[in-house]
Chains A and B, each alone.
Chain A
Amino acid sequence: MIDYSVGDWIGKIGNFWLTLLVVLTYGLFMGAIIDRTIAKVQGRIGIPYSQPFINVLKNFFKRTAISHGVMFYLAPVFRLAGGIGTLAFIPVIYGSETFSNFSMSGDLFLVIYFMFFGQLGMALGAGESGHPYATIGIARGLSQMTAYEVPFALAVISIVIQYDTLSITEIVAAQQGGWQNWTVITNWVATLAAMLAFLGMAGYSPFDVHLAPQEIPIGPPTEFHSSYLSLMQLNRALFGATKLILFMNLFFGGATGLLELMLKTWMIYMVAIIIGVAFPRFRVDQTIRFFFKIPTLIGIMSIIYVQMVLTS
């Protein structure tokens, strides 16, 4: 590890704040783009591009906010900390000093742990809100998360064996030099398992039973309002964009510029959207059975594929 001086650290932290701002703005903006895309499918015009920003501000400007206890206060903070923490260790743009964040050897492990952090904080907070639907939503959400983490972890293990490194920067570096070097081509089995897990992560149909607005009014965030909700909306935008950037880095060759980043992440997101508008919602038991069957098997196959074909 290189020794950084105090000035370097200040510079790195300053760069991270810039990255955070860019990714947050892009995440909110992408929410509007996706909403408008769905609206076009349904023959509507859709929300204005500024709508996600106005929603966050409106909730921030609410005059009253009530609390259900300490954990209720902390849940949105934990959630946002999970989003920021995940972003902090992912290099956003390959080869850019400004957007490389705190990427280091072994950051892939840290990122996978951090992705859980926000959800667990949310689980505690929603539990303290005392709303029965929030508890049901949490139970469903956590079991679904347990299920989709298995194929995702298997896919990550597979590409870790393939590139023989735990550093996201090195994984991106190994995929440079044309689309034929991307993991989606060289290790398509792992990519398939990870993209199936991504459907569960994205929270669109058929895997949105933990939110399910029509049956358990939006699940875990039922009781969250005003500035709590505004923090959670910020995290939704930030974490959504961060997950896409992680997938882009691991499987689709990373990005060398902001425009490439926007195009690639939008296309990865469209996979979840297209499947989301075409399929009805799964029950929670169907979701878990699905993830433990096909994507997990594909994940195991990807490790065998890497061992037998790529590294032999």
Chain B
Amino acid sequence: MIKSLSTEDTLENSGLTEEEQLLFSNARPKAYEPYPIKAVEDFANWCRANSLWILAFGTGCGAIELRPLMTARFDASRFGMAGRPTPRQSSVFIIGGYASVKTLKRIIRSYEQMQGPKFVIALGICPINGGMYFDSYNTINRFDQYIPVDLYITGCMPRPEVLVAGLMELQNKIKAGECDGANRYVENFDWYKTNQKKVIKKWDMPDYNW
């Protein structure tokens, strides 16, 4: 791959060294249109809603609320939910509580590696306005400035029942075709990137993690 100058179609990848730039793609992500036939898109959405694979990445204290979902008491697999250990195969990213700047970098990498359509749930009060960490020096206050969020579940901490209710609400939204976070991320890509680079000082990864 030949390194190209920053134009409208390619990314700069200026955080990488010359050598590393040859190893990473500098293509821009693209927005995707729904299927032209509405019945097909509705059926696809129904499949997506009934097979939510959750990325097993606990990003904060709220991750502890994810574990009980798979136990006998809550049994989220009844609704087609399952944990996936790799971002490539997952479709739901649950931000479990506060996101520190250090974690945000990992969240961005994981989110960009997920294949669309992908959905983000912000769990707890911290991703909404910072919660009890509102004046912390290294915690993100408004999470949706960095990654598009499809559904908020507030509380500190929300119990697993609320999480299951939230996931079912997400299913309804997907079935209605309202969850287009992946497209919003692509359409406002530069705005999201500017915000991300404002807080992440040491940007040593490609601009988009293909």
Contacts and interface: CB of A to CB of B under 8 A. Distances in A.
A213 B85 contact: yes
Interface in B104-127: 115-117
B78 A61 contact: no
B77 A62 contact: no
B51 A218 contact: no
A185 interface: no
B117 A62 contact: yes
A64 interface: yes
B196 interface: no
Given A213-B85, A218-B86, A222-B86, A51 B115 contact: no
Given A222-B86, A222-B88, A51 B75 contact: no
Nearest to A216: B85
Interface in B50-65: 50-51
Interface in B69-121: 71-72, 75, 77-78, 80, 84-86, 88-89, 91, 115-117
Interface in A229-250: 229
Nearest to B30: A64
A66 interface: yes
B80 A47 contact: yes
Given A43-B72, A47-B77, A61 B48 contact: yes
Nearest to B52: A58
A207 interface: no
A214 B116 CA distance: 25
B47 interface: yes
Contacts of A39: 75, 77
A230 to B, nearest CB: 11
Contacts of A57: 44, 47, 51
Interface in A6-58: 35, 39, 42-48, 51, 54-55, 57-58
Interface of A is mostly: loop
A54 B51 contact: yes
Interface in A61-111: 61-66
A54 B115 contact: no
A151 B89 CA distance: 35
A51 B77 CA distance: 9
Nearest to A68: B210
A217 interface: yes
A63 B117 contact: yes
B17 to A, nearest CB: 19
Contact of A46 (B77, B86, B89, B210): B77
Contact of B115 (A46, A64, A213, A218): A64
Given A58-B48, A58-B51, A225 B75 contact: no
Contacts of B78: 44-48
A128 interface: no
A154 B189 CA distance: 60
B32 interface: yes
A221 B86 CA distance: 9
Highest count of chain A CB atoms <10 Å: which of B77, B84, B89: B89
Nearest to B48: A58
Contacts of B117: 62-63
Contact of B85 (A45, A59, A218): A218
A148 interface: no
A252 interface: no
Given A42-B72, A64-B32, A225 B77 contact: no
A63 B32 contact: yes
Nearest to B70: A44
Contacts of A51: 50-51, 80
B77 A58 contact: no
A204 interface: no
A308 to B, nearest CB: 50
B47 to A, nearest CB: 4
B144 to A, nearest CB: 21
Contacts of A218: 84-86
Interface centre among A46, A58, A59, A223 (most CB of B within 10 A): A58
Nearest to B74: A44
A226 interface: yes
B23 to A, nearest CB: 10
Nearest to B46: A54
Contact of B116 (A46, A54, A62, A222): A62
Interface of B: 32, 44, 47-48, 50-51, 71-72, 75, 77-78, 80, 84-86, 88-89, 91, 115-117, 182, 210
17 contacts: A43-B72, A44-B72, A45-B75, A46-B75, A47-B80, A54-B80, A55-B80, A57-B47, A58-B47, A58-B91, A62-B115, A63-B182, A66-B115, A217-B86, A218-B84, A222-B85, A224-B89
Closest 5 A/B residue pairs (Cβ):
A217-B85, A43-B72, A61-B44, A225-B88, A58-B51
